[in-house]
């Protein structure tokens, strides 16, 4: 049997609860195929700071880089808000992404028919939405130099190199080839020189994918179009700060942040995580929605391990659970047949995935 080594970073708040359910589903679907998982736990976030004084211990980096993939829960909470910036959980996460070289953040936004009324937009606007935001993750203004502040000014620098743009563009076009073969590149080329470089390089890369239709859109228009007509998008390619904002906007098309997964991939390793935060206010209550994390595990199977059939089984199990009316508390008002705890929802999906 094939063995896959998975680094588990449960993190803070609801992180341990939702990761446990994803593991349950992974083990269930693995029983149907010729592979199994070896899990190694590692610390990151506030819990890591409490134990080691560092939100990202070197051991966590080592464990992650020696694994086939990383399954990550969530980090942070008000408990650590008053720490120096470099000691906060979020600083550990930024450093983690940089150390692992995960330069591409993949954020799908899918609207399930069974939950179409959960969206704040009209059903006729969101029905059938299935898009992917491909966000450059370790460059741009969050990492650019120089940066700093004094009493009267603060400054950050947006920088992209040709090589950084080329590699994220290839990622977007390759994903588009497995979907509807359309890429919309989002920038602000009418104002920013760095965006003009982005547009020029993406256009060059597009010549290597003649089957893919490339369009360009300014970020302010893209933000509007995501609400006006989200079905026009297949793959949205953009830089770090624009992608940060647009992917969160896209996530709300589904009506619940608890449904949507993500992947952060690079040349060496991939990190798979729900898009939501650690929700410390509901931690330990058994009401967190594990679906985003379970779907992140499905993305891990598909993009890191090449186990597409197993990923398909998990995706089908999630859809079946929703179709049959199982809901966690956050979705209880939307045609719920039964309101489930975090663990119960994980068990239902695991049972369906094993069939």
Active site residue 50: no
Candidate list 54, 130, 142, 323, residue with the active-site label: 142
Closest CA to 167 of 267, 75, 58, 317: 267
Residues 278, 279, 283, 286, CA torsion sign: negative
Encode burial over 279-309: b for 16+ CB neighbours within 10 A, e otherwise: bbebbeebbbbbbbbbbbbbbbbbbbbebee
How many Å apart are CA 178 and CA 189, to the nearest integer? Answer: 28
Residue 188 annotated as catalytic: yes
Residues 102 and 280: their CA atoms lie apart, in Å, by: 26
Q: Give 131's strand partners.
A: 109
Task: Verify whether residue 12 is a known catalytic residue.
Answer: no
Let me know if 147 is a catalytic residue: no
Contact 328, 349 (CB under 8 A): no
CB atoms near residue 162 (< 10 Å)? 12
Q: Of 10, 188, 313, 329, which one is the catalytic site residue?
A: 188
Rounded Cα gap, residues 189 and 200, in angstroms: 10
Give the distance between the most distant pair of CA atoms in the chain: 63
Residue 248 annotated among the catalytic residues of the structure:
yes
Altogether, the residues listed in the chain come to a count of 355
Catalytic one of 12, 187, 234, 244: 244
Q: Under 8 Å CB-to-CB from 5, ≥6 apart: which residues?
A: 37, 38, 40, 66, 67, 68
Give the active site residue among 113, 200, 248, 281: 248
Query: How many CB atoms are located within 10 Å of the residue 93 CB?
Result: 23
113, 200, 220, 229: the active-site residue = 220
Q: Which stretches of 188-269 are assigned E, i.e. beta strand?
A: 213-218, 235-238, 261-265
Active-site residues, by number, are 142, 188, 220, 244, 248
């Amino acid at each position: 049997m094939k063995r896959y080594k998975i680094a588990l970073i449960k993190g803070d708040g609801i992180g341990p609860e939702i990761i446990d359910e994803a593991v349950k589903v992974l083990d269930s679907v693995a029983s149907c195929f010729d592979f199994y998982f070896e899990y190694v736990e590692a610390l990151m976030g506030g819990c890591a700071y409490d134990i080691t004084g560092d939100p990202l211990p070197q051991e966590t980096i080592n464990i992650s880089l020696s694994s086939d993939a990383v399954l990550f829960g969530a980090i942070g909470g008000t408990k650590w808000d008053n720490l120096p910036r470099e000691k906060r959980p979020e600083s550990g996460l930024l450093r983690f992404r940089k150390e692992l070289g995960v330069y591409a953040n993949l954020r799908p936004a899918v609207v399930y028919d069974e939950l179409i009324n959960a969206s704040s937009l009209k059903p006729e606007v969101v029905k059938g939405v299935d898009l992917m935001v491909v966000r450059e993750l370790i460059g741009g203004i969050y990492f650019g130099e120089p940066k700093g502040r004094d009493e009267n000014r603060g400054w950050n620098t947006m920088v992209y190199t040709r090589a950084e743009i080329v590699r994220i563009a290839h990622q977007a076009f390759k994903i588009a080839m497995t979907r509807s073969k359309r890429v919309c590149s989002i920038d602000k080329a009418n104002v920013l020189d760095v965006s003009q470089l982005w547009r020029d390089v993406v256009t060059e890369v597009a010549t290597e994918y003649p089957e893919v239709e490339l369009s360009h859109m300014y970020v302010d228009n893209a933000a509007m179009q995501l609400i006006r007509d989200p079905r026009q998008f297949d793959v949205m390619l953009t830089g770090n700060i624009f992608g940060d904002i647009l992917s969160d906007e896209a996530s709300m098309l589904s009506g619940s942040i608890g449904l949507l997964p993500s992947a952060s991939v690079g040349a060496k390793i991939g990190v798979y995580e729900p898009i939501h935060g650690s929700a410390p206010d509901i931690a330990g209550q058994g009401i967190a929605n594990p679906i985003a994390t379970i779907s992140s595990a499905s993305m891990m199977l598909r993009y890191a391990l090449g186990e597409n059939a197993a990923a398909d089984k998990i995706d089908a199990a999630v859809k079946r659970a929703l179709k049959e009316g199982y809901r966690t508390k956050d979705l209880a008002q939307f045609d719920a047949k039964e309101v489930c705890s975090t663990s119960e929802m994980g068990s239902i999906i695991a049972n369906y995935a094993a069939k």
